[in-house]
Structure 1
């Protein structure tokens, strides 16, 4: 019989719309201003920390809606933005550098909705605000690292060409000083330097050369440091799972990072601002060295060696030459080994694996130390007012090389599973080419975002109302069907956007939603006009409804599929807000086809199907 749907189709329609409504509901509850606290370097945040935080807030008469401890973080919800800023300032001063205190926004979704995994959709920086970081690359350290690498390259080149020298070291003003026993040796090296593209002889005397890097090499190194750090920061943002982030270069030495709708700003600040990496050094096996005398300044370390310390203050004599750095780490995963100890499994790239294999092959039975290297703000400023970063090194592991290995090994000696997890996350995100520091951090407030949301909602509302009025005037009861389909379409778009983990709604995304409202109306106009045409041609009511939907289907499908292809292309080649527009447009096209065709047909079949009807309200 014409125009009758089986029961399962009605059930499917109801289930889909109810599911869309369920996952769209969290968006009406909004978010609470919050302050989030987490530990640095894997420091455990526990119930005692929670009690301490509560005491600090009570002492300062700051009223918190709730203080929740979970996932090794403390989340403090407050009533307004002023209280949020005050709480952050007070807690930052009271807790010190051992904890990261950051602003956040916490969803106010009821527990009964969270049981179904329902969360509000993520809003872009232009709608909900977010975190804005301005980061600066420490070019002084970048050039210093480049000079260290250049010295090693020169040593290797001199050795390969059998050129004699007595010493080579860094001098002032980004220069390298080489000393010789004879003027003939100095002349041979000077001639060799002239053949090397990246070096210039700045000055020379009888037994010495002052070498500088060429201006082209210095500029290339600075550009490379910013570009590679930008790439690494993008990788770190990916570790955070942030949708539609902005990571871009600004000027010669700075990088902008904007994280809209981020749920863990403390971790973001910790991961993005981290300058941590690893260095693998061979341990000097000398037993004649008085480590206590070196530590007290009464003696010096042997030539080519230096003393490093572990977290307990124990001294380890290591060679200055770095066997391998964290730049070669391709994968890092934390786990607990068979002895219940936290470890980090390391996978190196091919070049790192080859270097490690050659080293372990030649040094079987020796000890290798793993150093955790980090740059921290020293509290001092240079002549330009920039913060001076201080390099800190800590031995976290010393192990005997019992057999050859190449690209796979593990690091042990860590204090806790939390430290192992954080170290693995930092290593996965990539070692920075040069240290960076956050010179500006701000949370984009909700004022501007609220205005954009209000304007976006108003445009959707008025677009919907005009479409509803038009459909009611032109198509009567079938206009009611179309209007209900429009409302269901909006609910499904919001529900799907809330479900997709990588979807973020921005102003262009709202434009995509408004556009799909018009396209959904267009589909219903095609269907209704086709039904009216069939009635004018003398078709019966039931046959006219059937032919109307069947005849309009091809036109609706062709129009929507071409729009969907456009949305896919925009998403594939676009960035940022363009992707946001493409996502909502693509989702809107699919949901509008479902509601305009299946939804309105179900309503028409429910009202008119399976019975004799002389006249349609259309």
Structure 2
């Protein structure tokens, strides 16, 4: 009557053992580490590690170990003070490197090989920086319009269809043609090749073709801009070597970035909202730049810039290649002059254009224009205000023919070369972003939060255990065993799925403890009611579990739905609460109903004539 088949008991045992195994990494703790990422093309090797180790020993900085993980050197410490001293020293003494503070798990290798890893801790527990970024969707729309205008112009030129004008007015692109025949040709071609616009014609007096952006198209490219920004930001953060960053969208036009272990907000901000690129252009050698700067008369087809020494430079508007066509970029030192530089590698399109240009222009000048935009505020209408920086960083003579690989010089410092290489490698943002909120949490505050959260779980767990033990006796012991395994399973699930544990998440665990024991209370009270009604003990146990199941299931399903809604529409802290609550509901259903009954069956199921039970 009250016995599970062997296979069911076996599955329960396997589930509990797996839970114990994957919860185990959390008992090993974490070590403070310093991460060292080289900005040069050379990969770290044992000689590099030995050099770093010797330098730290010479400064009497105590560390545990120095190892290579991928392309990153990890130096482990016992305390935060030595970690901080090491970071400051290495930043000042290592060239072409990025040095960052972080925390690394002490999980044994055999456990890591089995997929075991500790829970990911949120910023409120681990320390780090939090940014809320707002995406400039108006700029995203403007960029898309420029792209569409350029694409349509290229199509018309290719098809040899002359036009009189090609201009945007709001969300409508108007094209005027000389004859109705040209209008019809353009209409037939463009409506097939450009599906982002809805085309219509006007033939009253003038021959005009209009392409209108639909709301669906606008929504689509705003979504693409947001997704590309997410990808670019992840790439930038990965380049710096931040472990377990959180980069996710929030609402229609915002992105949340959490960087655990990072304390330098200035460096992080420069990395996130910078919009920097390079343009390689021909220098205008037919006109005098100084005369153009003095008179203010800029020759048609050229733009006046200034180099870093303040000298005017006339640059043709023709763009040979841009930062968007870069495949790779790395900082280095020019072996001839000793000045910082960036080694550049272009994709096939950029390489082809560079090859064609250099073939025809050996001995002429080519300028490298550096462009950077930084959001500094917003207008009353909500549009972004930018601080724009444009300058010529190099205006050098083309010495020979080259295509996909070359170098860019003229940079002020190794740090500038390193930062520029990072931005070029990670790609351009599809739309500018502005930091609207930032918060820094120190590691000491994070540890205080961890200690407070753990203490709250321990106190809540202990009080519940004492109550159940006093009130339900032997069945209270069974409930307490189920409750302990429930916490272990929750920890295992959080670890396996990489869910981020936050302070509100700990509150969700405490709430789950109460909910889990509540299911046992319902079952035990039902068993007592059946016994008091004169039913046999074995029948009472069976009825208690079966009749209480529907009530427990209804309560947990409704709570689970609420948790899903919280996760779908909540922000960071609320999501953390919803995650632990959802996992806790699933594990408590398993432990309170299946596991506790399995234990009861093992103790009482084989006894045919039970006179009493300790409940």
The structure-2 alpha-carbon separation of the partners of 1:267 and 1:554, relative to structure 1 and needing over 3 Å to count, comes to farther
**Match for residue 84 of structure 1?**
83
Is 1:413 the equivalent of 2:396? Answer: no
Contact 2:276-2:371 at 8 Å conserved across structures: yes
**Match for residue 558 of structure 2?**
562
Contact 2:229-2:430 at 8 Å conserved across structures: no
Is 1:608 the equivalent of 2:604? Answer: yes
Give the CA RMSD over aligned residues. Answer: 5.4
Structure-to-structure mapping, 1:15-34, within 5 angstroms = 15-34=14-33
Is 1:450 the equivalent of 2:447? Answer: yes
Provide the secondary structure at the position in 1 that maps to 2:67. Answer: strand
Is 1:9 the equivalent of 2:8? Answer: yes
The structure-2 alpha-carbon separation of the partners of 1:412 and 1:571, relative to structure 1 and needing over 3 Å to count, comes to farther
Contact 1:46-1:72 at 8 Å conserved across structures: no
Return the offset for 1:389.
9.2
The structure-2 alpha-carbon separation of the partners of 1:569 and 1:38, relative to structure 1 and needing over 3 Å to count, comes to same
Structure-to-structure mapping, 1:326-337, within 5 angstroms = none
Structure-to-structure mapping, 1:50-89, within 5 angstroms = 50-89=49-88
**Match for residue 576 of structure 2?**
580
Within the candidate set 525, 540, 543, 1:547 is matched to 543
The structure-2 alpha-carbon separation of the partners of 1:571 and 1:528, relative to structure 1 and needing over 3 Å to count, comes to same
Return the offset for 1:31.
1.2
Return the offset for 1:604.
0.6
The structure-2 alpha-carbon separation of the partners of 1:256 and 1:93, relative to structure 1 and needing over 3 Å to count, comes to farther
Is 1:478 the equivalent of 2:470? Answer: no
Q: Deviations over 1:129-172 (max 9, x none)?
A: 124579999xxxx9xx99xx9xx99xx9xx9689xxxxxxxxxx
The structure-2 alpha-carbon separation of the partners of 1:100 and 1:81, relative to structure 1 and needing over 3 Å to count, comes to same
**Unaligned stretches of 5+ residues in structure 2:** 154-162, 167-223, 287-298, 306-313, 330-343, 360-365, 374-386, 408-418
Return the offset for 1:482.
0.6
The structure-2 alpha-carbon separation of the partners of 1:321 and 1:119, relative to structure 1 and needing over 3 Å to count, comes to same
Tell me the distance in 2 between the aligned counterparts of 1:479 and 1:468: 8
Contact 1:236-1:272 at 8 Å conserved across structures: no
The structure-2 alpha-carbon separation of the partners of 1:374 and 1:258, relative to structure 1 and needing over 3 Å to count, comes to farther
Tell me the distance in 2 between the aligned counterparts of 1:44 and 1:364: 29
Tell me the distance in 2 between the aligned counterparts of 1:517 and 1:528: 17
The structure-2 alpha-carbon separation of the partners of 1:305 and 1:461, relative to structure 1 and needing over 3 Å to count, comes to same
Return the offset for 1:77.
0.9
Contact 1:3-1:546 at 8 Å conserved across structures: yes
Return the offset for 1:608.
0.9
**Match for residue 118 of structure 2?**
120
The normalised TM-score by structure 2 is 0.62
**Match for residue 460 of structure 2?**
463
Return the offset for 1:22.
1.5
Contact 1:101-1:266 at 8 Å conserved across structures: no
Contact 1:130-1:262 at 8 Å conserved across structures: yes
**Unaligned stretches of 5+ residues in structure 1:** 163-227, 249-254, 290-301, 309-316, 335-341, 347-355, 378-385, 402-410
Tell me the distance in 1 between the aligned counterparts of 2:232 and 2:597: 48
User: Once structures 1 and 2 are overlaid, which stretch shifts more, 478-487 or 465-474?
Assistant: 465-474
Within the candidate set 487, 492, 495, 2:492 is matched to 495
Tell me the distance in 2 between the aligned counterparts of 1:536 and 1:478: 17
The normalised TM-score by structure 1 is 0.62
Is 1:598 the equivalent of 2:590? Answer: no
**Match for residue 167 of structure 1?**
none
Return the offset for 1:247.
9.0
Q: Deviations over 1:454-489 (max 9, x none)?
A: 111111111111111111122111111110011001
Provide the secondary structure at the position in 1 that maps to 2:614. Answer: coil
Q: Deviations over 1:297-356 (max 9, x none)?
A: xxxxx9857999xxxxxxxx98433377567x8x9899xxxxxxx98879xxxxxxxxx9
**Match for residue 48 of structure 2?**
49
Return the offset for 1:595.
0.5
**Match for residue 384 of structure 2?**
none
